[in-house]
Structures are given as C-alpha cells and as structure tokens.
Amino acid sequence: MLAFRHSLKLSRHNTLCTRLNSTLVIAEHNEEQLAAVTRNAITAATKLGGDVSVLVAGSKADKVAAEVSKIANVKRVLLAKDAKLGGQLPERLTPVVLASHKQFKFSNIVAGASSFGKGLIPRVAAKLDVSPVSDVIAVHGADSFTRTMYAGNAVTKVKSLAPVKLITFRGTAFEAAADGGSAAVENAPSSDIKTDTSEFLSSELSKSERPDLGTASIVVSGGRGLKNGENFKLLYDLADKLGAGVGASRAAVDAGFVPNDMQIGQTGKIIAPELYIAVGISGAIQHLAGMKDSKTIVAINKDPDAPIFQVADFGLKADLFKAVPEMTALLSK
C-alpha cells in the first residue's frame, strides 16, 4: 500500500512537472540589439518542452524587448527596465531573475553560453541552491542533456536532478530561432537592486566590419605561423574575399598579433562554421576544442606532422606566405 501510494505520488508529481514545465531565457543584448546567441538559446529552450518566456533586462531595453516579442515560440517577454541594469552586472541582474522566478516558478532558467550567460547563470543557481549545467550541446528531454568535457575529448550525457534546471547552451549546437511570433511584452516583477558592491565602468569592444565569429559561415584563422600582427593582413584579405570572420589560436593572441576576443578554443570561443580555414596553426587539443565541429576544415601548414592535418578535410602542406596570397588571387578571378 505504501509503495502504491508512493508510486501514485510519484506519477502525480511527474504529470505536474510535465504540465508546468516552463522556461525562462535570459536575453543578452547591448540595449540596442539582441545578441545572436539568445536566438540559439531560445531554440534549445523549446526542446525542454513547455512555454518559453524571455527576460529582457537593461537600462533602455524596449527596443530589444520588441525584437524578442517577434521571435517564434516565445510566449511572454518580461521587460525589466532600470538605469541600474545598464552594464548588465550579474549582482544586479540576479535579483531581477529571482523575482521573475518567484512569480512564475519556472522549471528551467537558461541563457547562451557566452561570457554573459556564464557569468550570470551559476550565480542565480547558487541563490536557488541548485547545480547548473554548462555549455549544453544537446537536449534529450526535460532533465537529460549532453555536454562536453576535457576540451571536447569526452562527450557526457547527464541527468540533472536539480528541482530547477539552470542551463547555458552552446550557441553553435542549436539553430537560431527565427521570427514569427507575437508575444506580449509585460513588465517584469520589481526587485530590490543593490548597487553598492559593483559598478560598470567602461567597455572596449573590438570594432570589425567582418562577420561575428560566432555566427560567420566561413572563418579564416591564424596561428603562430603568421609570425607577427602585420602578416594577419594576408588573412584579412582572404577573409574579405570570402565574407569570412577572422579568428586566431592562443599562440597568436599571446604573441600579441591579435586581440583576445579572436581566440578560438577551449577557453576562447567555440565555433562551428561551414568552412574553417586554419593557417599556420599546429592544432593543439585546446584549439581543436573550439573548431572541430566545423563542417569542412582546411589546414594550410608547412609542417606535415602538424596535428591539425588529422582533423582537416583538405590539407595543404605549403608556406602560408605564398599559399594565402595565391588563394586570395584565385578567388578574385
């Protein structure tokens, strides 16, 4: 009898969970435009089942909220507009997320696995006393996910027992959600935002006319073989012919050839473009972690033993200083 009652309770509990499954996606934006990774996170969120709400928090986020309300499958947009939220500091966003959660009792609170999402989601998780799941690449059900460990050398399927799932999703693993919705925008429940412990001072963003690394369909990337920063011009010329983004290995960043935010790898950006052209990059484990899901990989390197050739679909053993200009010239024809 006890066992029966227990199972009854369990099954009732399960139906309740299924029925009430609902997800809050935290939108990432710069007050003007939604970050592309949020659209990928929305697609991942729909795979969890249940309704999808999106929280847009910022100092003047109306425009972003309007953009989000048009995305397909978004049921509700919660807008938290407050001057204190400019700069999007996690200490200030966390109470906003918690206030929304308190009202709507979401079963999942998620974001893209960008520096924004990685900074915020675990802090919220601590406040809810749950264990978050980072950088998820596949959703198998409401509590079952796949993520990678050891720089992508082990693929792990996990089951989360947490009462609320706090997840960041790897953008490249999910399609971007398209427009086609008409969600209502409502004000997020108010919260007490303390401002005494942290303050946003300034940002210094790299300006580039080239496509964003995370979403570019072609990426040309350079490593130590480029020898100096000036030589990266060879890659920029090739990239411009292809409409490609430009990335770099850690060696190229550490040597000061290019800024940090161009780093592809385990601890930099993880990308999966249609075509990845690695130039003068040996292919260390940590670099491969960031690009080995690219559809087609090309390696140009003068060292025939470079590990990059083991993952390349097309390898060319050549001096990059000859091969790259030659390729740029050929593409101009």
Partner 1 sequence: MRVLVGVKRVIDYAVKVRVKADKTGVVKDNVKHSMNPFDEIALEEAVRLKEKKIAKEVVAVSCGPTASQETLRTALAMGADKAIHVEVDAATAEKMEPIHVAKILAKLIEKEKFDLVILGKQAIDDDANQTGQMLAGFLDWPQAMFASKIEPDGSTHLKVTREIDGGLDTIKVKLPAVISADLRLNEPRYATLPNIMKAKKKPLEKKTPADFGVEIKPQTETVEVSDPPVRQAGIMVDDVQSLVSKLREKGAIP
Sign of CA dihedral 94, 262, 294, 282: negative
Restricting to residues 199-258, name those near partner 1 by CB under 8 A.
Answer: 199-206, 214, 218, 242, 250, 253-254
**Of 148, 143, 147, 173, nearest to 41 (Cα)?**
173
Among 12, 13, 60, 157, binds partner 1 (CB under 8 A): 157
CB of 325 to partner 1, least distance (A): 9
Q: Determine, following the binding rule CB under 8 A, whether residue 130 of this chain makes contact with partner 1.
A: yes
Please list every residue from 272 through 301 that binds partner 1, using CB under 8 A.
274-275, 285-286, 292, 295-298
The stretch near partner 1 (CB under 8 A) out of 58-66, 69-77, 111-119, 185-193 is 111-119
Q: How far is the CB of 165 from partner 1 (least distance, A)?
A: 10
161 counts as binding partner 1 under rule CB under 8 A = yes
Among 189, 215, 261, 302, interactor with partner 1 by CB under 8 A: 261
319 sits near partner 1 (criterion: CB under 8 A): no
Query: Residue 294 burial (CB < 10 Å; 0-12/13-18/19+)?
Result: buried
Grouping H, G, I as helix, E, B as strand and the rest as coil, residue 18 is: helix
Q: How far is CA 52 from the centre of its chain?
A: 18
Tokens coding 36: 């592309």
Q: Site for partner 1 (CB under 8 A): which residue of 47, 70, 73, 119?
A: 119
d(CA 73, CA 69) in angstroms, rounded, equals 9
User: Which lies closer to partner 1 via its Cβ, residue 180 or residue 243?
Assistant: 243
Residue 111 binding partner 1, by CB under 8 A: no
Q: Which stretch binds partner 1 (CB under 8 A): 4-12, 50-58, 71-79, 142-150?
A: 142-150
Q: Which residue from 301, 259, 255, 294 is spatially nearest to 278, judged by alpha carbons?
A: 301
Question: CA-CA distances (angstroms) from residue 91 to 67, 123, 195?
Answer: 25, 8, 8
Cβ contact 277:221 at 8 Å: yes
Which positions from 71 through 110 interact with partner 1, judged by CB under 8 A? Answer: 87, 89-91, 94
Binding positions for FAD are 224, 249-250, 263-267, 280-287, 301
